Structure 1
Amino acid sequence: MYIGLGIVLLVLGLILAFDVITVDLSYVNDNALGVILIVCGILAIVLSFALTDRYRRRHVVVDSAAVHDRHYVDDPIVEERRYR
């Protein structure tokens, strides 16, 4: 979800930093605002990849045949599923 926000911030920052579009505001420096948006965009992308594993749900699935077989009772099958 935050990857899209990071890409938008990155593109807006690159546009402002490379003077593709100039903003004529006396109290805003275009290059500084562009660099700030670039840093925020990269940070949003990196954090979205770093926190993706935290939102995964993990389920333990036990096979019904394994319940009857005493060799596999202690070793459940771990299956990861992604919900988005």
Structure 2
Amino acid sequence: MTIAGGIILIMLGAILTWAVEFDIAGFDINVVGVILMLGGLVWLLFALYRLRVARRVVQPPTTTVIEDPVTQRRVYEERHYDDPPVV
């Protein structure tokens, strides 16, 4: 619940701030709505940062050199981290 959680908090805060007319002694529902909107904004920005950092990490491909002594050839095998293992 990364981006969706932040958007939900922002929506709940907006509803509490501008659409709800509810009074309890010593409890301001508008302030709670603003706090939820700010928390949702911080959550959304943090989620976007995490997604950007997670997509930046890339593993380099693995290269294996196999030398055949009979034919004097070299075979290069390049595998990426998402390839299935060779049996």
TM-score range, shorter chain: 0.5 to 0.7
In 1, Cα distance between the equivalents of 2:22 and 2:51?
Answer: 36
1:71 maps to none
Q: Quick check: which one's strand share is greater?
A: 2
CA deviation after TM superposition for structure 1 residue 35, in Å: 0.5
TM-score normalised according to structure 2 size: 0.61
1:45 maps to 44
RMSD (Å), alpha carbons: 2.9
Residue identity (%): 26
Which structure has more relative contact order (CA 8 Å, sep 6+)? It is: 1
Q: Residue by residue, what CA displacement relative to the aligned partner does 1:13-71 show, whole Å, maximum 9, x if unpaired?
A: 000110x223443232011001000000111000101122333442211466xx55xxx
- Listed as ranges, the gaps of 5+ residues in structure 2 are 66-73, 82-87
Larger Rg: 2
- Listed as ranges, the gaps of 5+ residues in structure 1 are 69-75, 80-84
